[in-house]
Structure 1
Amino acid sequence: MLQVKHLLDDKGREILAITPDAPVLDAIKTMAERRVGALLVMNGNELLGIVSERDYARNVVLKGRSSSSTNVLEIMGPGMITVGLDDTIDHCMRQCTNERVRYLPVVDNGKIVGVLSLGDLVKAVISEQSEQIEQLQRYIAG
């Protein structure tokens, strides 16, 4: 069964983060430059939350706030769901569905070691299912 550590081995373990006191404009610029939809919000090595494009749209744009004078801490989403390296992809998919989140920070021994997006999980499930279908077709043909 596919685990988080396998996805991170393929995807990489780069951590994209921003400080809670940074202007939202900096977060949005970083997301655009790095072509990602969210950043971890960290104070040193401490994970405080996640800020996403959705947070920006709902808490800055729709409320008529200024991107340059609003801090990340003011708009980031509440709560934090994390997963571990040994968690299965099925478990992660259930977490995303049940908690209605799109990003899961990966923690190992209290340290952030990566981030999985819902897109990463869907891609892994599709790949795993394609392999199973291929194996079944070879078995039937064979």
Structure 2
Amino acid sequence: MRPVTAGGEKSMELVRWKSEFNLGLDGIDEQHQTLLDLINEVWRLIIAKADPQAVMKVLEELEHYTREHFRDEEAFMRAVGYKGVEAHVREHEAFVTRIEREKRGAQAAGQLSLDLLRFLENWLIDHIQGSDRAYAEYVQKRSSGSLLSRFFRRFR
């Protein structure tokens, strides 16, 4: 999924996917790219001064997709026996709690905080480069990556 503006053109991005964000786990990397795309779509809508309901709709899509991604990621970590899964789950829970709080605030104020967008961008990049990279390295030491492919095929 690659969101675009109404005219079909890509506009200013808050954050651009970089090759160093790749973990070498195709399904996870694709999900991370989609999360960045959704963050960028919220950014584009804000810049375009779109209707607040449109912004909230994409924010809700981001929240829903994030929960799905976290569920998949946590199931994968458990499936491969990653010892740091519980700490990782707590990071995910803290993130979801923050999004829920910010969403309530945005609904009450009628607009989304730009601080939320910076938080989303920074948290996701830091999380990918830190916690996610740690379990990706664990997986890569244990297998040739075929384990991830088999895991994600179960969901398709």
**TM > 0.5 fold call:** no
Greater relative CO, 1 or 2 (CA 8 Å, sep 6+): 2
Q: Highest CA radius of gyration, 1 or 2?
A: 1
Greater helix content: 2
